[in-house]
């Protein structure tokens, strides 16, 4: 019997370089980012036009992802910016070629 390996993601969206940031967790990063981009849910990301995927991490266990999300949300802004820029100096939209 095979166990299904799940993947969970902690992600950071931005409105623009050094703009408004949003941190979330999901098990379907492509679908969740598309929901943000299409402003499907009224809320923070649609209000502040936060739709650029600038950073994400992958986890096997949901509890680890939730723990990391909570940790990042407590970080000060500069630490978050430094984390993004370690991997994505120019704040490129990492999902820019995911959708037609």
Q: For residue 98, is it within any domain?
A: no
Provide the CATH number for the domain around residue 31.
3.40.1440.10
> pLDDT tier at 39 (50, 70, 90 boundaries)?
very high
Domain with 65, as residue range(s), is 8-87
Share of the chain above pLDDT 70, in %: 97
Higher pLDDT, 62 or 4: 62
Q: For residue 13, is it within any domain?
A: yes
Q: State mean pLDDT over 26-45.
A: 94
What is the rounded distance in angstroms from the CA atom of residue 73 to the CA atom of residue 28? 20
DSSP H helical ranges for 10-95: 29-37, 44-47, 62-74, 77-87
Q: For residue 39, is it within any domain?
A: yes
User: Which pLDDT does position 41 carry in this prediction?
Assistant: 86
User: Which pLDDT does position 82 carry in this prediction?
Assistant: 98
Q: For residue 97, is it within any domain?
A: no
61-93 pLDDT tens trace: 999 999 999 999 999 999 999 999 999 999 999
Residue 60 buriedness (CB in 10 A; 0-12 / 13-18 / 19+): exposed
pTM (2 decimals)? 0.93
Is 2 a residue whose pLDDT tops 80?
no
């Amino acid at each position: 019997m095979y166990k299904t390996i799940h993947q969970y993601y902690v992600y950071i969206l931005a409105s623009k370089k050094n703009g408004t940031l949003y941190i979330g967790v999901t098990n379907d990063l492509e679908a969740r980012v598309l929901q943000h981009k299409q402003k499907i849910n009224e809320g923070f990301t649609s209000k502040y036009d936060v739709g650029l995927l600038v950073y994400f991490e992958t986890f096997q266990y949901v509890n680890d992802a939730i723990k990391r999300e909570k940790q990042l949300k407590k970080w000060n802004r500069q630490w978050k910016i430094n984390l993004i820029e370690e991997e994505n100096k120019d704040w490129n939209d990492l999902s820019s070629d995911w959708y037609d």
